[in-house]
Structure 1
Amino acid sequence: MKIRAASFNIRNSSAPDGDNAWPVRRKATVAAIEALDADVVGLQEVLPDQLEYLRWRFPKYEIVGAGRDDGMSAGEHSPVLVRPGDWRIERHETRWLSDDPGTPGSIGWDADLTRIATLVWLRHRNGTTVGVVNTHYDHAGEVAQLQSSRLIARWVTGSLPWIVMGDLNATPDSPPVKTLVDAGLRLAVPLSEGGSWHDFTGAVDDDRIDHLLVTPEWTVTDAAVSHFRPEGRVPSDHWPVVATLELR
């Protein structure tokens, strides 16, 4: 029983990116998502207009996730997309990366911004359930990054196999990532695959801050950082990460 999972920060549409602004590259972003050939995709920095466009471009996908500002539609989303096939969404919820995870808009610790995680329980057609966490850690608060990992580590304990994905704004050797590893998760994408952040330069050797981590029930059969440029255009300021996983 396999699942192909991917994480991709698509860069918000409000950023003043000039030649790389969302209206210019949105077709490339969709093409990059399609090229991942993933059963489940976690996206970050998705504003409402981008979510509307993605729903239009992926009409058969299940797409879930709330806005971080109000728990409904306001602000950035970290949506999870599930393509038609063996896996369906059983349930989902949004939690805030703070001391009060159930309060929409809450800001945690020393974070600069409100941050969220989208939790999804997926059921395979054979009845097996697995969990997925898609998240985007704060870019500035080091305490917030660490505490976010501690929160997620608690959320993924138990009997289910879990996949944790997202832009953690932290490299593999950092305390936030080490905290997840110490909790029993492991990095799915080898460091030899290159960097994920490139700031629209197209560099493939910059920092790896986008991650897929898995609990011990999963075997990684292949994994990569996708450096695909649809028609020569970089689809975001991040490269997506992707892995094929098999339940042991």
Structure 2
Amino acid sequence: MRPRHPPRSPRASGSREVGRADRLAHRGPGHVLPLLMTGDFNVAAHGNPVYGQLLALSLKDTWDAAATFHGYRPLVPDGDRIDWILATAGVTVQSATINMYEQRGQYPSDHLPVQVSLTLA
């Protein structure tokens, strides 16, 4: 049986993501559009070189204190946040929350959904 999230080299997959973000962020003069990059990156945000490279491309983290991976166990405050929503300067974030929905202790996923209310410039 294949694992749900096959192990990947964070460096290899991260390089691909950084390349995509760089191409989208630098589409040339007159092509300034708000950009959102969302995903299950399967690595904690802070201290990760890929996360740092994406922020260096002028992407900002829409919520810097959310723990989204709970592994079907109680949420750990300030735990690893592996689901990111990054945005360019053309995005104004009003709020960010984590959807804590569960029914009788059962969660629909091992990730808690990140929800952001925002305005595109």
Note the residue ranges of structure 1 that are not aligned, 5 or more in a row: 1-13, 16-44, 46-75, 77-112, 114-138
Partner of 1:227: 100
Structure ranking higher in strand proportion: 1
- Residue 202 of structure 1 deviates from its aligned partner by 3.4
Q: How many residues align?
A: 113
Kept in 2, the 8 Å contact 1:195–1:204? The answer is yes
Q: 2:62, 2:33 → 1: CA distance?
A: 18
- TM-score, normalised via structure 1 length: 0.41
Distance 2:34 2:86 in 1: 11
User: Any residues of structure 2 matched to 1:66-215 within 5 Å, and which?
Assistant: 139-157=7-25, 158=27, 159-173=32-46, 174-191=48-65, 194-205=66-77, 206-215=79-88
Residue in 2 that maps onto 1:8: none
Whole-Å Cα distance in 2 between the matches of residues 235 and 219 of structure 1?
Answer: 29
Question: Take 2:64 and 2:101, find their aligned partners in 1: how far apart are those partners?
Answer: 18
Larger radius of gyration: 1
SS state at 2:107 partner: coil
Runs in 1 of length 4+ with deviation above 4 angstroms? none
> How many percent identity over aligned positions?
27
Q: Give 1:214 deviation, angstroms.
A: 0.6
How far the C-alpha of 1:152 sits from its partner, in A, is: 2.1
Q: Higher relative contact order by CA 8 Å / sep ≥ 6: 1 or 2?
A: 2
Contact 2:10 2:43 in 1 (8 A): no
- Rounded Cα–Cα distance in structure 2 between residues aligned with 1:230 and 1:186: 33
Contact 2:45 2:80 in 1 (8 A): no
1:79-134 deviations in whole A, cap 9, x for unaligned? xxxxxxxxxxxxxxxxxxxxxxxxxxxxxxxxxx5xxxxxxxxxxxxxxxxxxxxx
RMSD: 2.2
Q: Answer yes or no: is the 8 Å Cα contact 1:190–1:224 preserved in 2.
A: no
1:189 Cα deviation from its structure 2 partner:
1.6
